[in-house]
Amino acid sequence: MPQIVSSQDDVTSLACDALVVGAHERDDGFELSPPAAAIDDTFGGHLHEALTQFGFKANPGNVQVIPTLGNLPAGAIVVVGLGSDAPVQLASVRRAAAAAARRVSERHQVASALHEGIKGGERAAAEGFLLGSYRFSKYKKHPGGPKIERIVMPGADADEIERGIVYAEATSLARDLTNEPADVLTPAELADRARAAADVGGFECSVLDERELRSGGYGGLLAVGGGSAAPPRLVRLRYVGPDAGVALPKIALIGKGITYDSGGLTIKPAANMETMKTDMGGGAAVIAAVTALARLRAAADVVAYIPCAENMIGPAAMRPGDVIHHYGGRTTEMVNADAEGRLVLADAIARANEDEPAVVVDIATLTGHISVALGKKIAGLFATDDELATELMAAGEAAGERFWRMPLPDDYMSDLDSDIADAKNSGSRYGGGITAALFLKAFVAPGTPWAHLDIAGTGRAESEGHDTPKGATGFGTRTLIEWVEGRAK
C-alpha cells in the first residue's frame, strides 16, 4: 500500500510523476475545480484545451491523463470527474481517488488535490487511493500490482488522512481474509487470524473449540460444522475504549464466518460453489471493524462474535429433518442444509444476549434472495428499531456503502412453522430474505434493538469497479466503524 502524507507545498509547484485534480459536470461540458483551474493558469490554458479536444466528461470516476511535456513540475496531470458540485459528495471524491489510483498504478510518486475545498475530502481521498490500489496477489508467482509508493496531499489535515488510512486498511483486511482460499482459511485459521489481530490491536479475544462448543450446547455451529474435517470455532472479541467504562451502552456485533459453503447435503450446483470461500465476508467485516475501532481509540464498548464453520458433506453432516438444539434452548427443524448461515448466527446471537448489550447488529452473506431484490450494489437492512435503522443508513451513506431498509412483517414467520420444533430454518422460495431475518430475530433478547445486514450481493464483486476489486469487497466494514464511532459521539 502506498504511503499518504500531507504537504504545505503549493499544488502548482509539486514535483511528481502524476498530479491528480478534479473537474465537475456541466450541461455544456465540464468545469475545472479550483486547484485544477490554478494549474490550467500555470499551464497557459492548455489543460482545459486538451480536455476539450479529448471530449472529456466529468462524470464521477471518469479519468483523463494529460502529459505536461516538462512545462510543469508534475510529469502528468490526471483529471478525474467529481460529478456535480452542488455539493460534491464524499462518495464521488472516494470514487475519483480510487479511479485515479487504478489509472496511475505504474507511477511511483503521486500528488493529489482532490480534497481541496471539500469538507471531509482528505479522509475520502485517502480511502479512495488505498481502496483503488488494493490487489490480492498473494498466490501469484509474479504478483505485480500497483507501483505507487507515495501520495502527497497539499494542505491536507494529517489526522483526517490517518482516519482515511485506518478505514481503508480495515476494508483491505476484510478483503484479504475473504479472498483467502478455503483450504487455507479453515474455521480454526480464521479464529487464529482474529486472535492475531487482537494481539496487535490490544483488545481481547477468546475462542471456543469443538469440545467447548459441545459442552456449551452450541448445536447450530456443531450441526453446520459436523460434515467437515475442519471443526467449528466461536470467536469472541471485546474492545473497551478509553473513557468507555460502564457509562457507554454495550454494542454487540455478530458476523457470519462460514469459511466454505458447499450447501451440505442440500448441495449447490457446481458453478455456485466457486465463490463460496467468500461466505465469511460478514465475519471478516466484524474482525476488521473491531481492529479499526481499536486503532482509532473509539470511546465505545463493543463485544463481537464470529461463529466459524465449514458447511461440507461427510459422515456426520446434518440431514434435512434433523432437529437442532441451539445455545439458549431454542430448537430448529433443519430442512435445508444450504440455509446454514442463520443456524450459526442463531447460536452467536443467543450467546451475545448474555452480555446484555444495548443493541445487536449482525452482518452476513445470508441469502441469494437479497440479490434478487436489490441487485449486487445495495445491501439489505432489516431492523426492529427505527432509530437504529436510521443510524445505520446514515453510516452507510457516509462510508460509501449503500443499504435499503427491508420489511420485517411478523406474519411471514408462519412460513417457518414446524410440526416438531420451534421453527424450520427455511420456508418457500418467496420472501426468503425476509424469513431469514425473522428466523434470526427470534433469537434476540426481547426488547433489544436489533439490525441484520444481508450483504450476500455486495460482499463479492464479479467485476472491477472504481473502489472495489473483483472478488471480496470488504463491504460493511466501513459502515460498522462509522456507526460505532457515531454512537460513541
Residue 466 has pLDDT above 90, yes or no: no
Q: Cα–Cα distance between 185 and 187 in angstroms, integer? A: 7
Which residues in the chain are classed under CATH 3.40.220.10?
3-153
Q: What predicted TM-score, i.e. pTM, was given to this entire model? A: 0.96
User: Which residues belong to CATH 3.40.630.10 in the chain?
Assistant: 167-488
With cut-offs at 50, 70 and 90, classify the pLDDT of residue 222: very high
* CATH architecture of residue range(s) 167-488: 3-Layer(aba) Sandwich (3.40)
Q: Average the pLDDT over each of 67-71, 230-234, 478-482 and give the range with the smallest value.
A: 67-71
Is residue 87 very low, low, confident or very high in pLDDT (cuts 50, 70, 90)? confident
| 155, pLDDT greater than 60 | yes
For residue 432, how many other CB atoms are within 10 A of its CB? 21
Indicate the pLDDT class of residue 488, thresholds 50, 70 and 90: confident
Between the CA of residue 398 and those of 176, 361, 392, what are the distances in Å? 23, 18, 10
Place of cell 446434518: 318
pLDDT above 70: residue 246: no
Average pLDDT (306-326) is 98
Mean pLDDT of 101-110: 93
Mean pLDDT on 272-285: 97
Which residues on neighbouring strands pair with residue 60, listed in sequence order?
none
Q: Are 475 and 370 in contact (CB under 8 A)?
A: no
Strand-strand pairing, 331-334 and 322-325? antiparallel
Cis ω for the linkage preceding 87 (within 30 of 0): yes
d(CA 195, CA 280): 16
3-state secondary structure the chain: CCEEEEECCCHHHCCECEEEEEEEEECCEEEECHHHHHHHHHCCCHHHHHHHHHCCCCCCCCEEEEECCCCCCECEEEEEECCCCCCCCHHHHHHHHHHHHHHCCCCCEEEECCCCCCCCHHHHHHHHHHHHHCCCCCCCCCCCCCCCCEEEEECCCHHHHHHHHHHHHHHHHHHHHHHCCCCCCCHHHHHHHHHHHHHHHCCEEEEECHHHHHHHCCHHHHHHHCCCCCCCEEEEEEEECCCCCCCCCEEEEEECEEEEECCCCCCCCHHHHCCHHHHHHHHHHHHHHHHHHHHHCCCCEEEEEEEEEEECCCCCCCCCCEEEECCCCCEEEECCCCCCHHHHHHHHHHHHHCCCCCEEEEEECCCHHHHHHHCCCCEEEEECCHHHHHHHHHHHHHHCCCEEECCCCHHHHHHHCCCCCCEECCCCCCCHHHHHHHHHHCCCCCCCCEEEEECCCCCEECCCCCCCCCEECCCCHHHHHHHHHHHHC
Query: Is there a contact between 61 and 97 (Cβ–Cβ < 8 Å)?
Result: no
Comparing 142 with 458, the larger pLDDT belongs to 458
Phi, psi for 379 (deg, rounded to 5): -95, 155
Q: Which of the four pLDDT bands, split at 50, 70 and 90, describes residue 282?
A: very high
CATH of 3-153, one of 3.40.220.10, 3.40.309.10, 3.10.270.10, 3.40.1260.10: 3.40.220.10
Average pLDDT score, the chain: 95
Indicate whether 221 pLDDT > 90.
yes
The dihedral through the CA atoms of 47, 48, 51, 57 has a sign that is: positive
CA 338 to chain centre: 23
Instruction: Give the three cell numbers for residue 287.
Output: 474482525
Mean pLDDT of 225-231: 98
Q: Is the pLDDT of residue 247 over 90?
A: no
Q: Does 245 score more than 90 pLDDT? A: no
Segment 394-412, tens digit of pLDDT: 999 999 999 999 999 999 9
Q: Give me the mean pLDDT over the 414-418 stretch.
A: 98
- How many CA atoms, within 13 angstroms, populate the side-chain half-sphere of residue 438? 23
Give backbone dihedrals phi and psi of 439, rounded to 5 degrees, phi first. -60, -45
Number of residues in the chain = 489
d(CA 327, CA 453): 22
Q: If you average pLDDT over residues 3-32, what whole number do you get?
A: 92
Catalytic residues: 268, 342
Environment class of residue 402 by beta-carbon count within 10 Å: exposed (0-12), middle (13-18) or buried (19+)?
A: middle
Quickly tell me which residue has 460434515 as its cell. 227
pLDDT (0 to 100) of residue 244: 55
Q: Is the pLDDT of residue 480 over 90?
A: yes
Q: Any idea which of 174-183, 246-255, 261-270 has the lowest mean pLDDT?
A: 246-255
d(CA 349, CA 153): 43
Side-chain half-sphere of 297: how many Cα atoms within 13 Å? Answer: 3
% of the chain at pLDDT higher than 90:
88
CA distance 480 to 363: 9
pLDDT of residue 145: 79
